[in-house]
Chains A and B, each alone.
Chain A
Amino acid sequence: MESSGTPNHMIDLSSSAAEFNRPLLLTPGEDLKGYILGHVGRWSLFTITSASVLAVLLIFIFVIREALPFLTQFSLTEFLTSTRWYPEGTPHEFGALALISGSLYVTLGALILAVPLGLSAAVFLSDIAPFKVQQICKPIIEILAAIPSVAYGFFAILVLAPWMQKNLHFSTGANTLNAAVILAIMALPTIISVAEDSLSAIGRDIREASYGLGATRAETMLKVVIPEAHSGIIAAVILGMMRAIGETMVVWMASGNATQIPSPWWDLSQSVRTMTATIAGDMGETPKGSDHYHALYAIGFLLLIFTFSLNLVSEYFLSRVRKAKGR
């Protein structure tokens, strides 16, 4: 091959090897073109980015502005610690604690159900399931995340609620447990797919190292793979939590909408009302500019703070995943 070779495809060794035959300096034309393209690209991308950031920022500002009259007129401590929510009573009472606790109840309830299930499913998909099953299951799970929430709400009302009344003898089908279960089902796809991604991102060589030292599959998963993927797993849990805490339609349909803290606290058969459901439910019938109206914005602001901080935490962990990948 080399002796008979095709000369025009081979490097021409007759011109001295020390001579570069392509100039290493840009010509003035190339220089200018690169300069213009670089700047146009940079500025157009910058404009688009700042526009979207600005839109989000504007929403933030709008919510704060509408919430501000309430926060200045009414006591913040009462807002956060009282359970008496009588926005239309005389005098108005705006104690949002029951709403906050309602949100926490259904969200934490959903997490307690979804996290163990989701992580087991992720471990199964990444390390135990045969290759074929993985290939089929992953897209299906991602599709599940795209089902509109009203559909889940219908399922909660038409299937879960009667089932709970009949088999668990709950006085009402629309209750905390129902909302938690349905939110867990909704959060599962997110948790599974993000956790599975982070488990698969841990390379085969690491698993081999562990197996090679005589570890069983369980030991490999628990002592090596899951610890190395912990950032991604935490991010998965938080993303699932954000999905649950921000969800409106489903909890509106499934939670029963009673402004109360269940008592005793573990009685999940009682109804609760979440912050999101309150905003969605009340906003339509509240006159613009009234105290009630501003109070709803204050709740919205609180919700925004919740999800915003959760987002920051998940970003932090996801950035650690990215860093670990690039090692």
Chain B
Amino acid sequence: MEDNQPQEKPVTQMETQSPVMEKILPAIHIKMDNQKQVTSGTTQDKATCNRCGIISSKEFSFFYGNTCGVKNISMDIYPCMVTAIIGPSGCGKSTFLRSINRMNDLIPHTRAKGRLEVNGINVYDKRTNLVNLRQQVGMVFQKPNPFAKSIFDNVAYGPRLQGIRKKSDLESLVEQCLKDAAIWDEVKDNLNKSALALSGGQQQRLCIARALATRPKLLLMDEPCSALDPLATTRIEDLIEQLKKFYTIVIVTHNMQQAARVSEWTAFFCLGELIEYDKTTRLFTKPGKKQTEDYITGRFG
């Protein structure tokens, strides 16, 4: 607990810096409305940044039965930026990420404490509209989990739920999403093939395409590149670069270089606690904590 106090410093610093932030970031306005609109390709969303985080966690803890997944996480995740979460295995990265769109609900005997706000709404409020939350907070899971349907139907699943029925709309949307996820060239000739017949890495990219197809405002990616080759990884990183113009992205990764490459902010978790949260450049060059330094240098050699 006491360890935690100083770490919040960067966050508070951040908040005082907010006028600067506003200069850095284009003055735009995040719109998290319930409209089920899907405009293909170049979304003309005027995505922008509120002063405080689009995701704001306050003393958030999550429990699996009696074991603690994460405890006392307080951090703000800023819109239109990529935030990386790093940390050793089992430290609660997935737990935290999956709490943001309430994906842990399906696991029996789990319990959340504290506040976890998305766009100012505590998602663990009883009145949360889970459908709208999850439609706008997309997720790519740690393990690829395609449906036993065709490639096309996998990607079209989300848009269809939103009521898009017109074949031509669906086709162009699916094509765009598959292209964005760097898998179009491999599957364009057999979109009707079962998604289960793809390789693990292809399935993962399909899942990325599927998540993009709901046009989320916020994208949670749990080690999206762990099963991918360097080329596909580069393409996914390029995609992240593209997407952050309009979307907020939170990415869990074990690859330090990737975190350094793609993210503006980095959070370091250890044993369920947030150890340090800072601008990526600062965290990787001048980590404020011994633990962070050990972890980063341990990997960099």
Question: A: which residues have CB within 8 A of B?
Answer: 130-131, 203-216, 219, 223-224, 227-228, 324, 327
Give residues of chain B (13-42) contacting chain A, Cβ–Cβ below 8 Å.
none
The answer to whether A228 touches B141, judged by C-beta atoms less than 8 angstroms apart, is: no
Instruction: Return the contact of B196 from the options A131, A205, A327 (Cβ within 8 A).
Output: A327
Within the complex, what minimum Cβ distance (angstroms) separates A294 from chain B? 50
Asked if B58 is an interface residue, CB under 8 A from chain A, the answer is: no
The answer to whether A213 touches B157, judged by C-beta atoms less than 8 angstroms apart, is: yes
A216-B131, A223-B157, A327-B196 are known contacts. Are A211 and B148 too (CB-CB below 8 A)?
no
Chain B, residue nearest A208 (CB) = B103
Instruction: Return the contact of B141 from the options A130, A205, A215, A324 (Cβ within 8 A).
Output: A205
Give residues of chain B (198-213) contacting chain A, Cβ–Cβ below 8 Å.
207, 210-211, 213
Cα distance A251–B281 in the bound complex, in angstroms? 79
Within the complex, what minimum Cβ distance (angstroms) separates B28 from chain A? 24
A211-B106, A213-B134 are known contacts. Are A228 and B147 too (CB-CB below 8 A)?
yes
Interface string of B135-160 (1 = CB under 8 A from A): 10011010101111100000001100
Contacts of B101 in A (CB 8 A): 212
A131-B109, A210-B157, A214-B135 are known contacts. Are A205 and B162 too (CB-CB below 8 A)?
no
The answer to whether B106 touches A207, judged by C-beta atoms less than 8 angstroms apart, is: yes
Chain A, residue nearest B136 (CB) = A214
Instruction: Return the contact of A219 from the options B107, B130, B161, B210 (Cβ within 8 A).
Output: B161
Total inter-chain residue pairs, C-beta < 8 Å: 66
24 A-B residue pairs with Cβ-Cβ distance under 8 Å, sorted by A, are A131-B108, A204-B106, A205-B141, A205-B143, A205-B145, A206-B147, A208-B145, A209-B145, A209-B207, A211-B103, A211-B134, A212-B101, A212-B139, A212-B211, A213-B138, A213-B211, A213-B213, A214-B132, A214-B134, A214-B135, A223-B157, A227-B149, A228-B147, A327-B196
Chain B, residue nearest A212 (CB) = B139
Chain B, residue nearest A214 (CB) = B135
Contacts of B143 in A (CB 8 A): 205
Interface string of B152-186 (1 = CB under 8 A from A): 00000110011000000000000000000000000
Contacts of B148 in A (CB 8 A): 227-228, 324
Contacts of A204 in B (CB 8 A): 106-107
Within the complex, what minimum Cβ distance (angstroms) separates A94 from chain B? 49
A208-B141, A228-B147 are known contacts. Are A214 and B106 too (CB-CB below 8 A)?
no
Contacts of B157 in A (CB 8 A): 210, 213, 215, 223
Contacts of A228 in B (CB 8 A): 147-148
Instruction: Return the contact of B162 from the options A130, A131, A203, A214 (Cβ within 8 A).
Output: A214
Q: For A212, A227, A228, which residue has the most chain B Cβ atoms within 10 angstroms?
A: A212
Cα distance A197–B149 in the bound complex, in angstroms? 21
The answer to whether B138 touches A212, judged by C-beta atoms less than 8 angstroms apart, is: yes
The answer to whether B146 touches A214, judged by C-beta atoms less than 8 angstroms apart, is: no
Asked if B214 is an interface residue, CB under 8 A from chain A, the answer is: yes
The answer to whether A206 touches B145, judged by C-beta atoms less than 8 angstroms apart, is: yes
Instruction: Return the contact of B106 from the options A130, A208, A223, A324 (Cβ within 8 A).
Output: A208
Interface string of B92-103 (1 = CB under 8 A from A): 000000000101
Cα distance A311–B130 in the bound complex, in angstroms? 43
Would you list the 7 A-B pairs with minimal beta carbon distance, nearest first? A214-B135, A213-B158, A205-B145, A131-B108, A209-B145, A212-B139, A214-B134
